Chains A and B, each alone.
Chain A
Amino acid sequence: MVGELTWMRRIFGLWIPLAALFVFALFPFAWMAATSLKANAELYNPKMNILWVQNPSLVHYIGLFTETNFVTWIGNTMLVATVSTIISLVLGAMLAYPLARMRFPASGLLAVSVGVAYLVPQSLLFVPMADLINRMKLGDSLKAVMLTYPTLLVPFCAWLLIGYFKTVPKELEEAALIDGASRWRAMTRVILPLCTPGFLSAGIFAFTLSQNEFLYALLFLNTSSIRTIPVGVTGELIRGDAFYWGQLMAAAFLGSLPVVLIYSFFVKYYVAGLTAGSVKG
């Protein structure tokens, strides 16, 4: 009797909802992948099965590589994401270290400002930002997004790193100082290495956010050869005619792949970063 009841509970309380969650979360990706592998004749034939691929074809992928700048866009996206992540980690750590571990005037006010800056989105500042970048003669160059992405990422990295820096006991630093190390040495040789998980969390987060960014890229990257994947795909692969979905889905699938791969290697750190603020704070 009890065994039966637990089985029912497992099925209705766990397996069915879990299956539903999987379908809900993944069907768009399945649809994306299935579409990208169908040649147009199969894709636009209403009699064919929707999700099943009868005659797999790489025609859309080949088209993507030969007819469009997709490869360049992948390179641009990676370059921009890497540069802005590094800038953001360095500047974020410089901001977070004193706020987490030092006593100095105005530290409270500064910590609050970092928190507020973290919540300022692109859609609030894009008009003055566009004007500023144009006046700096940086419009239509990758430098424009490499400079503007860190404005979104530095406060976030700082805010995340403050939490990690605080977890290292003060005694460790004091011991290093007593042994004759300078503050700089104590920081770079003792404290920062202990906070590697924090850097991984902030870094992986900053990296996925830069790959996801759209508004600034839309404003600043007009020439096809300097576009990132999101603006390239929406700006050039959506054409006037109706029969472009195969190539578009191939681009969406391939464009998602780098983020998903990197994410899969660092899931633990990504989730730690995601939940740090709400659970600890």
Chain B
Amino acid sequence: MLAPRPFRFREWLERESVFSWLLLTPPLLFLIAFLGYPFCYGFYLTLVSRPIAQPATYVGVGNFVKLWNDPIFWKAVNNTIVFTGTATVLKLAGGLGMALVLHQHFRMKGITRAVLLLPFIVPTVLSTVAWQWILDPGMGLFNRSLINLGLVTKSQAPSWLGNPTLAMVSVILVNSWRGLPFFGITILAGLQTIPPELHETATIDGAGTWGRFRHVTLPLLMPVILIVTTFSVIITFFDFQLVYVLTGGGPANATHLMATYAYSISMGGGQLGLGSAAALAMVPVLGAVLILMSSYVRRT
């Protein structure tokens, strides 16, 4: 009969699952404390009315009822969807074009790629401040160029951030400017994985430039495009800083996104419960957007 093996600490440590969990525990504890706990606490907050520095009172779904009856909230939902949808289409179309242009042979390609990615690298707040100045109604680059070219007179110069429709256009434009290179560089990386032989075969079979793009390049790029688009939709949907800096949600809530509205309710208005509800309401709305997107993709 075998004697039970003596317990050796070192051997125990070498077991795959023990070693794994010893490594995993510190990062998991950190994430549970600072990501998991706030998430659960955020859920709890949606159920209470809790003005800043005051005790909470339970209100059940009262916060959501309040939001449901709040026209500004629905305006923000609508804005978020318009903002995300339009900006994503622009970034995708522009990024695809950028990738196709860069996917040719020319000198200094590496530097070109690095320079064109700059809008995506520079801290968003700083480039957004520059855009605020570009869009300045009196002395900004856009209006001064329009006036110098004789397209508008000084009194007709558009108020890019003061007119509700133009403000939305501006916000979408700046987001697209920043995100387009991300699409371009990622789709370019996808293009580079397509073996050139496929294009040669298609050419021999009589396909023209458009035919090769439509029937060879595009289908093979689809997986990359889908991942980048989904990723970008999520990031754009939750965007906060661009709108906060450029318009602050104005004029008259015309550019409030769900994130900026949640911020203004909780930090401006001091309603932590209501603000948390507005923030967490982004999850089901985003879910609906993603489901609609995927059903659209499956149909086509």
User: Could you give, for residues 144-172 of chain A, a 1 whenever the CB lies within 8 Å of some chain B CB and a 0 otherwise?
Assistant: 00011011001100100000000000000
CB–CB B101/A151 < 8 A: no
For window 32-62 of A, CB contacts with B under 8 Å fall at: 32, 35, 43-44, 46, 50
The answer to whether residues A128 and B123 also contact, given A35-B133, A50-B144, A183-B19 and a CB cut-off of 8 A, is no
Looking at B17, B31, B144, B272, the one whose CB has the most chain A CB atoms below 10 A away is B31
Residues of B within 8 A of A17 (CB): 97, 101
- In the complex, the answer to whether A28 meets B241 with C-beta atoms within 8 Å is no
Question: Would A127 and B185 be within 8 Å (CB), given that A17-B97, A278-B228 are in contact?
Answer: no
In the bound complex, do residue A131 and residue B41 qualify as a contact, i.e. CB atoms below 8 Å apart?
A: yes
Q: How far is the CA of A234 from the CA of B27 in the complex (A)?
A: 33
B228 to chain A, nearest CB (A): 5
- CB-defined contacts of B144 to chain A, threshold 8 Å: 46, 50
- Do the beta carbons of B272 and A21 come within 8 Å of each other? no
Q: How far is the CB of B170 from chain A (nearest CB, A)?
A: 13
Q: How far is the CA of A233 from the CA of B117 in the complex (A)?
A: 23
For the complex, would chain A's binding face be called helix, strand, loop or mixed by DSSP majority?
Answer: helix
Known: A248-B133, A256-B122, A277-B227. A18 touches B14 (CB 8 A): no
Q: Which of chain A's residues have a CB closer than 8 A to the CB of B136? A: 245
Decide if A13 touches B104 in the complex (CB within 8 Å): yes
B175 CB to nearest chain A CB (Å): 13
- Residues on A with C-beta less than 8 A from B113 are 267, 271
Residues of B within 8 A of A3 (CB): none
- A125 within 8 Å of B by Cβ? yes
A260 at the interface (CB under 8 A from B): yes
Q: Does residue B39 face the partner (Cβ distance < 8 Å to A)?
A: yes
A122 at the interface (CB under 8 A from B): yes
The minimal Cβ–Cβ distance linking B109 to chain A, given in whole angstroms, is 10
Please pick, from B123, B190, B193, the residue contacting A229 in the complex, using a CB distance under 8 A.
B123
Using Cβ atoms and an 8 Å threshold, which residues of chain B touch A233? Answer: 125-126, 129
A144-B281 Cα distance, complex, nearest whole Å: 26
User: B267 contacts the other chain (Cβ, under 8 Å)?
Assistant: yes
Residue among A94, A219, A255 facing the most chain B CB atoms (10 A cut-off): A94
CB <8 Å contact, A126 and B279: yes
Known: A131-B272, A154-B31. A121 touches B238 (CB 8 A): yes
Task: Give the complex CA separation of A245 and B140 in angstroms.
Answer: 10
CA of A121 to CA of B84 in the docked complex: distance in angstroms?
15
Determine how close the nearest CB of chain B comes to the CB of A232; give it in whole angstroms.
10
Q: Which residue of A lies closest to B46 (CB)?
A: A127
Enumerate chain B residues within 8 angstroms of A238, measured Cβ to Cβ: 129
**Nearest CB in chain B to that of A91: its residue:** B27
A229 and B238 form a contact (CB under 8 A): no
Bound complex: CA of A281 vs CA of B223, how far in Å?
Answer: 9
Contact, CB under 8 Å: B42 / A127: yes
Residue of A nearest to B14 (CB): A183
Cβ contact within 8 Å between A271 and B126: no
CA distance A130 to B190 in the complex (A): 40
Contacts of A263 in B (CB 8 A): 114, 121
- When the two chains form their complex, are residues A127 and B275 in contact, meaning their CB atoms are under 8 A apart? yes
A78 on the interface (CB 8 Å rule)? no
Q: How far is the CB of A14 from chain B (nearest CB, A)?
A: 5
* A91 nearest CB across to chain B (Å): 4
**Extra pairs beyond A127-B45, A212-B125 (8, CB < 8 Å):** A35-B133, A117-B35, A125-B279, A128-B42, A151-B34, A183-B14, A233-B129, A274-B186
| Residues in chain B within 8 A of chain A (CB atoms) | 10, 13-14, 16-17, 19-21, 23-24, 26-28, 30-31, 34-35, 37-39, 41-42, 45, 97-98, 101-102, 104, 106, 110, 112-119, 121-127, 129-131, 133-134, 136, 139, 141, 144-145, 147-148, 177, 180-182, 185-186, 189-190, 193, 224, 227-228, 231, 234-235, 238-241, 244-245, 259, 262-263, 266-267, 272, 275-276, 279-280, 282-283
Taking Cβ atoms with an 8 Å cutoff, the residues of A that contact B are 13-14, 17-18, 21-22, 24-29, 31-32, 35, 43-44, 46, 50, 91-92, 94-95, 97-98, 102-105, 107, 110, 117, 119-132, 147-148, 150-151, 154-155, 158, 182-184, 208, 211-212, 214-215, 218-219, 229-230, 233-234, 238, 245, 248-249, 251-252, 255-256, 259-260, 263-264, 267, 270-271, 274-275, 277-279, 281
* 22 contacts across the A-B interface (CB closer than 8 A): A13-B101, A29-B130, A46-B144, A91-B26, A95-B24, A95-B28, A123-B279, A124-B279, A128-B276, A158-B27, A182-B13, A182-B14, A238-B129, A245-B133, A252-B127, A260-B121, A263-B121, A270-B121, A271-B189, A274-B186, A275-B185, A278-B231
What are the nearest 6 A-B pairs in CB distance?
A98-B20, A123-B259, A230-B125, A275-B189, A121-B238, A128-B42
